[in-house]
Amino acid sequence: MLFTKAVSTTSHSQFVNVTALVKEALQESGVESGVATVFVSHTTAGITINENADPDVTRDLLYILDEKIPWNDPEYRHYEGNTAAHMKASMMGNSSQVIIENGQLVLGTWQGIYFCEFDGPRQRKLLIKISA
């Protein structure tokens, strides 16, 4: 079953915890055992699983990405001017998978699923495929 969820980002670079959206799709699917594939169909946004307890973790991840991948560089050639966002999206990847067991996502206690915005704010789409 395929679900499409809207994600509104509010900053240029931002990690949005989308775990609840994936749980919502899982509940609607009724699947008890399988895999959830979370896919981002954008080239300047990504998806990752990381710590959900201390918000400074995602803040620090954004800091490191900004520090290592400057927005402006005279060597960049991409006409749109957002090469850094494309690079960061590739680093995070465009999909994550989570095991489903007993109708629940099998995530570690401290794990959350994050939509990673690198060229916002924008209206984005998150695709969630629940497979039994």
**Nearest distance from residue 86's CB to Zn ion, in Å?**
6
For Zn ion, give the closer residue by CB, 109 or 123: 123
Q: How far apart are CA 25 and CA 130, in angstroms?
A: 8
Determine which residue in the list 11, 80, 110, 121 makes contact with Zn ion, applying CB under 5 A: 80
For 17, the enclosing helix (H) or strand (E) is strand 14-17
When CB distances to Zn ion are compared, the closest residue is 80
**CB-based contact 76:29 (threshold 8 Å):** no
For Zn ion, give the closer residue by CB, 59 or 78: 78
Binding residues for Zn ion, total number by CB under 5 A: 2
54 makes contact with Zn ion (CB under 5 A): no
- What are the helix (H) ranges across the chain? 19-29, 55-68, 83-92
Q: Write the DSSP symbol of residue 110.
A: T
State the Cα torsion 15-16-21-26 to the nearest 10°.
Answer: 20
122 makes contact with Zn ion (CB under 5 A): no
Determine which residue in the list 17, 82, 94, 111 makes contact with Zn ion, applying CB under 5 A: 82
Chain positions contacting Zn ion, by CB under 5 A: 80, 82
